């Protein structure tokens, strides 16, 4: 199995090293194409207004000045030679990618680009890193087995699998739960106003570490309860109930004011 790795935390990220160790347990044909610098929150951004530079970091390992989407596209079409990858793994992200955050995540976007190119793709993220003692131990302990089992089972070609690992001692992680995407009932994103050394104001975007009250069966609920969450994501964002409701009200001749 030929595996292509990417991430959004950058080519030097500890999580990418963890992902390389996970992939090494599954195959000896592993390639890496990742951003030169951190591109967290890049979502599915594609670089169209400037050239993308590629740097060879090592054997079958490259960095680019582009986004995770750029990296996967370049990897599949240009940098991975001989044959196409059989699997794309994106991560391991430093922090969970849950609920509505998946629409902004560069980690999930890397997997989506793999899916769009017809390659089974999985995003992997590690909860924590705002808490003492956080590491990638849970991801590295359980990641190889989960990825192997998912590949054996297979999944639809238009679906991306989003895997999140809880923080804490691995001996307390005893369950994997297949979940649906949740939605927080608290607003965790915020902009903090600061002042630079010249007295000019600027803003720093960030997250408040507040837990919501998620429903049972969601990715949030699973992680809050120390479970590994596996969420099948679909790029079709259509809300079918609203489609059905509007069809009887808006179809036909376009309305005029």
Report the binding-site residues.
8-9, 40, 93
Q: For residue 131, give both structure tokens.
A: 């808490």
CA–CA gap between residue 111 and residue 120 (Å, rounded): 8
DSSP state for residue 150 in the 8-state scheme: H
Phi, psi values for residue 160, rounded to 5°: -110, 140
Say which residues have a Cβ less than 8 Å from residue 199's Cβ, sequence separation at least 6.
none
Cβ atoms within 10 Å of 97's Cβ, excluding its own: 28
Cβ atoms within 10 Å of 142's Cβ, excluding its own: 18
Q: For residue 185, give both structure tokens.
A: 């009932």
Binding residues for a divalent metal cation: 8-9, 40, 93
52 in Cβ contact with 46 (< 8 Å): no
CA–CA gap between residue 22 and residue 124 (Å, rounded): 11
92 in Cβ contact with 146 (< 8 Å): no
CA–CA gap between residue 204 and residue 190 (Å, rounded): 8
Q: Report the sign of the C-alpha dihedral through residues 144, 150, 156, 161, in that order.
A: negative
Say which residues have a Cβ less than 8 Å from residue 257's Cβ, sequence separation at least 6.
none
- Name the nearest CA neighbour of 32 among 80, 92, 100, 94: 80
């Amino acid at each position: 199995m030929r595996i292509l790795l990417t991430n959004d935390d950058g080519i030097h990220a500890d999580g990418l090293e963890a992902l390389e160790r996970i992939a090494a347990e599954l195959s000896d044909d592993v390639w890496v194409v990742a951003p030169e610098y951190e591109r967290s929150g890049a979502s599915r951004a594609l670089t169209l207004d400037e050239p993308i530079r590629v740097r060879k970091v090592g054997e079958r390992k490259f960095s680019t000045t582009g986004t995770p989407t750029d990296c996967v596209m370049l990897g599949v079409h240009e940098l991975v030679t001989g044959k196409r990858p059989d699997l794309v793994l994106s991560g391991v992200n430093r922090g969970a990618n849950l609920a509505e955050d998946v629409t902004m995540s560069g980690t999930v976007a890397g997997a989506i680009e793999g899916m769009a190119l017809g390659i089974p793709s999985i995003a992997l993220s590690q909860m924590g890193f705002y808490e003492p003692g956080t590491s990638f131990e849970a991801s590295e302990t359980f990641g190889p087995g989960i990825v192997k089992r998912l590949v054996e089972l297979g999944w639809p070609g238009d679906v991306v699998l989003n895997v999140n690992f809880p923080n804490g001692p691995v001996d307390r992680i005893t369950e994997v739960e297949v979940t649906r995407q949740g939605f927080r009932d608290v607003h965790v994103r915020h902009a903090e106003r600061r002042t630079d050394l010249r007295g000019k104001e600027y803003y720093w975007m960030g997250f408040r570490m507040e837990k919501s009250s998620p429903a049972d069966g969601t990715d949030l609920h699973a992680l809050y309860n120390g479970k590994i969450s596996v969420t099948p994501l679909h790029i079709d964002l259509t809300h079918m109930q609203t489609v059905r409701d509007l069809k009887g009200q808006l179809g036909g001749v376009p309305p005029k004011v």
